[in-house]
Each structure stands twice: as structure tokens, then as C-alpha cells.
A and B are shown apart, each in its own frame.
Chain A
Amino acid sequence: MTDHAYNFAYLDEETKRMIRRAILKAIAVPGYQVPFASREMPMPYGWGTGGVQVTAACLTPGDVLKVIDQGADDTTNAVSIRRFFQRTAGVATTEATTEATLIQTRHRIPETPLTADQILVYQVPIPEPLRFLEPRETETRKMHALEEYGLMHVKLYEDIARHGEIATSYAYPVKVGDRYVMDPSPIPKFDNPKLSDSPAIQLFGAGRESRIYALPPHTRVVSLDFDDHPFTPSKADHACDLCGAAESYLDEVITDDLGSRMFVCSDTDFCRTRREAGQVGRLGGTLEGEAA
């Protein structure tokens, strides 16, 4: 059901061209934040306007779109963004990671490895990895230009001195292609290893901050660390209570007011696929709940 009052995928073609030029530049200079003339979108800034603009510029009528938020297809904002493109582009949508040609995500990378036929679009709130060390854009741009990342290393070192480990658990900074320090968006650091050497194109859109950046396929992405304090991806020390997966990122769900809790895959498609294949976790068994 497309809305014919608007152009395919909402944005006019001139705007899409402008965004595509920014995307091409971003792919040519991996990890570099390309300023682009971000448009006001019909959803609020901070709710995925950057990702939506990048997706709109990449979509073709033959694409199959998947939208996730916190790893799940059915969280409210994922539903809202998927509906937006159903309405304005009329593209096919899916919840299956393997069927999608374009996946827009907030805060997660799917557990199922991506392929060369896929584009992963990240929604980015604050694209600047140095922002909370230096609030001025004029300064941070200079720091990137000069490859002056000492401040970041001092911050990580101070974390270790104070806490015994680097106290950043999401939006963990990475170095891209041995050049730019990049914010991978607020994905848990558990997901960081999936950024590197991915066969898929990874695009990052920050609407409010007017920035686009990218990781072309098979780019080397290294999470910042020290030789004596190597980077460790972390997750809850449990297996999924529904599908039994031990290697997926888990959400903790509080089940009563007495401290009982269960752990479930944050990637809903990954979990369902496993259960459909007969895998059962501690509390799993049926697929009920989902009819609620």
C-alpha cells in the first residue's frame, strides 16, 4: 500500500542523489564522517532519521527490507520505521536476516553472519567518538584530520587505572583501516568483532548531526585496547532460556518482583529460527507468548 503523494521511499530524487554522493564518499574513506545536508524527516530527530535517509537513498523496488531495534523486529520503533517504508516505498519486508537485502538496525548487529548481497544501515545518535572527551565539533574534526587520538587512549587508560578494565560496554570505539577512530553506534561491545571483515556493506547515518560514514566490505576494524588489556567482547554469562543458544547476545527479563529473571536472545529472528529447528532452552518448549 504505497502513498502516491510522495516519491518512492519518501525523499525526492535530488535529495537521494545528494545522500548517495555522501555514501560513496564515506565508502571511499572508511570511517570518515562525511557531512551531508540531512533533511527534516516525518519522524523525530534521534529516532533514526539518519538511518532512514540512508535506507531511502539505497532502496530499490526489488529490495527486501528488515528493520530491527535492540535486535528485535517487533519493538515499537522498528515497527514504525518498517511501516514507513511499506507505505512510502511499497517494498517487501521480512523478519528473516537471511532473506533481507537491506537491514536497518538500531543498537545491534544480527547474529546470523551477513553476506555480500546485503547492506546493513545503522542508526547513529552521536557519530563523533571523541564527543564526550571534546564537545566542540571544530576541535574534533581537527583531531581526526591530524590523527590525534591521544585523548581517547588516555581515557581508556584512566578507566583501567580506576576500574581495572575499560568501562565502556556499548558504543565501544574502533579504529577503521588503521586510520580513523569511529563510533560503531551504541551496539554492545559484544557485537564489535562482527564489524570487521564483513562481506556486507555497512553504512552509518546520523540525521540530527548531519553525518554519514561507512565500512566497505572486508574492512579491518579493530576495537581499541592495550597489549596488556586486550579487548574482550562480553555478554551475560548464560544461555538463552528459550532456544538454548550459548553464543548469542542476551536480554535480561525480570519475571517477578522477587528477583527471578530469564535470559533471552536479543536477536528475535535468530532465536525463532533456532526454536523452529527444534532447539530448546531452559524455559523454552513452545512458541506461545508470541501470540500475546
Chain B
Amino acid sequence: MYVAVKGGERAIDNAHAFLAEERRGDPAMPDLSVGQIAGQLKLAVNRVMAEGSLYDPGLAALAIKQARGDMVEAVFLIRAYRTTLPRFGSTVPVETGQMACIRRISATFKDLPGGQILGPTFDYTHRLLDFKLAAEGGMPAAPEAPSRPGPVPHVTALLDRDGLIQRETDSGTPAPDLTRDPLHLPASRALRLQALARADEGFTLALAYSTQRGYGRTHAFVGELRIGMVRVSLDLPELGFAVEIAEIELSECETVNQFTGSKTEPPQFTRGYGLAFGQNERKSLAMSLVDRALRWRELGEENIGAPAQDEEFVLMHSDNVQATGFLEHIKLPHYVDFQSELELIRRLRAEAAK
């Protein structure tokens, strides 16, 4: 007979206890430490920091542990924590030209000031399962070269000196904050980049890929990809000068895009820009392609109706915390709405049968 849907509170408690048990897994196996996650699953930690918009490897590792490795859930945990943090101010823009690079490559010049540094990359590895990793065992240390003195200028700065690439100017306006103001469209490039920096990696990747296959093609070359530590400084009004407060790891990508000119702009190279926390190569690369595709209006290019050119489409659907929440909410009870649909369909069918 009728089972009233009572007992929701107890069911929720029990489900959460079950979840906690499943998260821990076999108690005979050692518990995974946050330090192990931060140290050995660093790229996962980086992704959670980037899409969570919070630079804290320890918390990101904790979120991954709590989320049982579900990356979007981990991003959500970090976002929900981040939103409660007080804001003291904005830092001075980081100087990526001064980055201590562990990796720096250019696909546009064979050699260049500062050199090509491969760094810790999967590129050129053969994707063969390494069964040695399944067994316990130490690793031989990687050979080390002395750090190379001298500046590592941006590739685009070299092109800029010759006037070959569109000059980016500082608008002088304070950076907008997507998390403190509702998104208004059309969005400035700064705001678009902010949204893309926290956008889902998979979504950004798919959009970037679509531009390569002709849906808003932008002819991108990787002018430069650099990964390394940069210093973060904050202006302290009481002191009257900026104080270095932290060092963070960033991935920065600048694409150099062919541009044959338009009614408003002369032929020149243009750029797409990508920046993400940590070593986050795929994300920063994809972001720079999408950024460039979204710039069609300011450059007077044709809008061919490609998804990656559509600012509203991209910005409204790039956030995985929003997307997953709304997608998964259809698991919630909808029986009131469904009931009204049932009645409607029955009525329409009765009408049609007449």
C-alpha cells in the first residue's frame, strides 16, 4: 500500500555514512594522505586549483581526496570554500616575463633568447604502460643542468618590437570580478579571460578543437608556452609600496595568429592568450585558442556563427560547477510538474481519440 515518503532525514544520514565508507575504500589498505595527492597527483591538483579559482595545493588535494577523485566535485568543494573567504585587495599584475621557467617552448622560432626548455612534459613519451610503477620502487634522479642566467623575454614582445603583432594596450581600468558581479554581456576581454581561466578544461578543449576543424578557424601557432613560478605582490596602502607575499606556479600560453587584415585593422599577427594556475598546459593552450576566436568583433572578422565565436554561448556554459549542478538537479523530485504533464497528455490523448 501507500508508503509515505517520510524518513528523508534518516535516509540522507545513512547515505552520507555509506559515502564516507566508500570514500575510504578497503580499510586494509593504507589511507591516502593529502600530501601524497599534492605531491604525486599534481596535475589533478592543478586542475582543481585552476577551475576552483583558488591557489592552494593543500586544499585542492584535500578536495580531491574528499571527492573520491571526482574532479568536478573537487572543484565545487574549492569554490564553495573560496566564496566564504574575505577579500583584502587585488595584487599587482604578475610579471610573467620574469617567470622562473621550468618549461618554455616556442613553436614559431627554432631558437630564441632564453632558449627552449622542455621541462617535465609528456610530449615525446611513448604512451606505453610502465609496469614498474605498479611495483614499489625508487626512481633514479633526473640529471640537472645549472640554471641559465639572463632574461627570457616573451616571444610576442620580440614580434611587437618589429611592429608585426597587434599591440595589446593596458586599458588602465581595474580588473572586473566575475565572482562579485553578475555577468553582463557583451563582456570585456578581461572578463572573458577571467571566465575562461576557471572554465571546464574539457569544454574549453572541445571549443578550441572545433576552431581547428574549421568552426571559427584562427590559424594559431604556439608563439610560446611557459610554465614556472612568478612572484605575487600586494600594494599595502599603510606602507605605500608593494610587498611580495607569495610565489605561485602558472602556465601561460600566447598564440600567434595569422590575420590578413580587415576593414578596421591592417594585416598583422594577432594573439590569443591563456593563463592557468599550476602546470596546466592543455587548459592554457585551449584557452588561448578560444580567446582568439572570441575576438572576431574587435578585429572586424566575419562571424561565421561558430560556437567558439559566440561569447554568450561560451561564457554561459563554460562553468562546470554551474553546469553539473543544473544537469544533476533533474535527479531531484519533479513529481508535481510530472503530474501536471501526465494530466495534460491524458487530456490531449482523449481529445485526439474523439
Chain A residues proximal to chain B, CB less than 8 Å: 6, 12, 35-42, 44-47, 49, 69-72, 74-80, 83, 106-108, 125, 136-138, 163-165, 167, 169-171, 186-190, 208, 210, 234-236, 241-242, 249-253, 255, 262, 264, 266, 283, 289-292
Contact = CB atoms under 8 A, between A and B. Distances in A.
B339 A188 contact: yes
Given A188-B339, A266-B336, A283 B2 contact: yes
A283 B3 CA distance: 12
A228 B176 CA distance: 51
B249 to A, nearest CB: 24
A35 B184 contact: yes
A37 B339 contact: no
Interface stretch (B41-49, B55-63, B298-306, B344-352): B344-352
Nearest to B11: A76
B327 A46 contact: yes
A136 B179 CA distance: 21
Given A71-B336, A107-B334, A169 B343 contact: yes
Contacts of A76: 8, 11-12, 332-333
Contact of B343 (A12, A79, A234): A234
13 contacts: A35-B184, A46-B326, A47-B325, A47-B332, A75-B8, A76-B332, A137-B312, A138-B185, A234-B344, A236-B339, A262-B2, A266-B336, A289-B3
Interface of B: 1-9, 11-12, 76, 79-80, 82-84, 86, 179-186, 312, 316, 321-322, 324-329, 332-337, 339-344, 347-348, 351
B333 A69 contact: yes
A136 B343 CA distance: 31
A277 to B, nearest CB: 18
Contacts, number: 159
A36 B180 CA distance: 9
Given A38-B182, A236-B343, A255-B2, A79 B312 contact: no
A138 B322 contact: no
A266 B334 CA distance: 11
Given A38-B182, A234-B340, A208 B333 contact: no
Nearest to B316: A137
A70 B185 contact: no
Contacts of B342: 252
A136 B312 contact: yes
A169 B340 contact: yes
A44 B83 contact: no
Given A6-B84, A46-B325, A125-B326, A37 B336 contact: no
A69 B332 contact: yes
Contacts of B11: 76
Contacts of B329: 44-47, 125
Nearest to B76: A44
A138 B4 contact: no
A132 to B, nearest CB: 15
A58 B285 CA distance: 44
A21 to B, nearest CB: 13
Contacts of A163: 348, 351
A44 B324 contact: yes
B2 A44 contact: no
A251 B336 contact: yes
A289 B4 contact: yes
Given A79-B8, A125-B326, A40 B336 contact: no
A255 B4 CA distance: 11
B9 to A, nearest CB: 5
A23 B182 CA distance: 15
Given A186-B337, A250-B339, A251-B339, A46 B328 contact: yes
Given A47-B325, A108-B336, A252-B339, 17 more contacts: A37-B180, A37-B181, A44-B324, A45-B325, A77-B332, A107-B336, A137-B185, A167-B348, A189-B340, A210-B182, A236-B339, A236-B343, A249-B339, A250-B339, A262-B2, A266-B335, A292-B6
A170 B1 contact: no
A167 B325 contact: no
Contacts of B351: 163-165
A187 B7 CA distance: 24
